[in-house]
Structure 1
């Protein structure tokens, strides 16, 4: 299945799905901690965009990132810059920051398969993986032809480009049960 065929197929289907190498993958139901972490991440990114005064927008899950002709992911949050998406757009054509919150069912794929997929998209400069159990952000950043990885348990996090500054604690929120 191509991404175009997938988008038509998925439009009126219940549940969330991604397309990986032409195969539809259903996404497991979320746990409360995962849902809270996604909201915190989106809010932290929205606040950072507002503080920086950039022509960017942070969005929560549900938007599609096209990796190639047969692969499309739905990150838990993302930031893109430039022309504002139209009301009925489904695909974010040039995401700059993608965020995945680790979950027991998808953690391995989020850390490995999606990482290489996201960085196949030329506009992606940062992949943030939020590990709510370890209270840690794994920050992958494009550095020329290489990808730099940092483990960031606390403190400031600079995402340049596009020029955002936020605290890891804002992404993680307070410890929860």
Structure 2
């Protein structure tokens, strides 16, 4: 179950204070949502499978399209506005591989979250708003952990408007950068 800064008596943190605090933690994964630290719960097997298959499908699609992009698994940070530091389950960055010591993905193009009981509300609301504060993000995918269902938010031509599609099968197209995965790729058994 996730817990907020109130549960941990941390209060609202700036990005720099949060980074210093997070680096000092002996274990666990955290995000900062609306300035509040949120601890991420241990993952269920279905969640781990889904995020691994999403990462793999995106990586294959980048390779097949011969794109100058890199797909990172969870653990990399997306800075969303002043009050958000999110760790999506996968992220696509185009324009070259990041330095080995990077912890932040600048100019992410595609972000992926897999729903879990403890993160569902944030992924569908606060993080949706936060991700689309990042001008480079064109696609936000939310995968259900337990059944084939994907919500694909796609930004319209660099505006703050986006289209929403809910898919249970078939192709998910990403333009830009010009690649395709399928729902079946991520829900393979």
Which TM-score applies when normalising by structure 2?
Answer: 0.88
CA contact (8 A) 1:58 1:78 kept: yes
> Hey, what's the Cα distance between the residues in 1 that align with 2:165 and 2:56?
22
Residue ranges of structure 2 left out of the alignment (5+ in a row) = 1-12
Whether 1:138 aligns to 2:163 is no
Shift of residue 114, structure 1, vs aligned partner = 0.7
Counterpart residue number, 1:167:
182
Whether 1:124 aligns to 2:127 is no
Shift of residue 95, structure 1, vs aligned partner = 0.6
Counterpart residue number, 1:151:
166
Which has the larger share of strand?
Answer: 1
Which stretches of structure 1, 4 residues or longer, exceed 3 Å deviation after superposition? none
CA contact (8 A) 1:132 1:172 kept: no
Whether 1:75 aligns to 2:58 is no
> Hey, what's the Cα distance between the residues in 1 that align with 2:126 and 2:100?
30
Partner SS state of residue 127, structure 1:
strand
Q: How many residues align?
A: 174
> Hey, what's the Cα distance between the residues in 1 that align with 2:46 and 2:147?
13
Q: 2:99 aligns with which of 82, 86, 106?
A: 86
CA contact (8 A) 1:136 1:172 kept: no
The 5 A counterparts of 1:53-68 are: 53-68=66-81
Partner SS state of residue 89, structure 1:
coil
Partner SS state of residue 36, structure 1:
helix
Shift of residue 62, structure 1, vs aligned partner = 0.2
Counterpart residue number, 2:41:
28
Partner SS state of residue 47, structure 1:
helix
Whether 1:15 aligns to 2:28 is yes
Shift of residue 70, structure 1, vs aligned partner = 2.2
Residue ranges of structure 1 left out of the alignment (5+ in a row) = none
CA contact (8 A) 1:56 1:80 kept: yes
CA contact (8 A) 2:139 2:174 kept: yes
Shift of residue 166, structure 1, vs aligned partner = 1.2
Which TM-score applies when normalising by structure 1?
Answer: 0.94
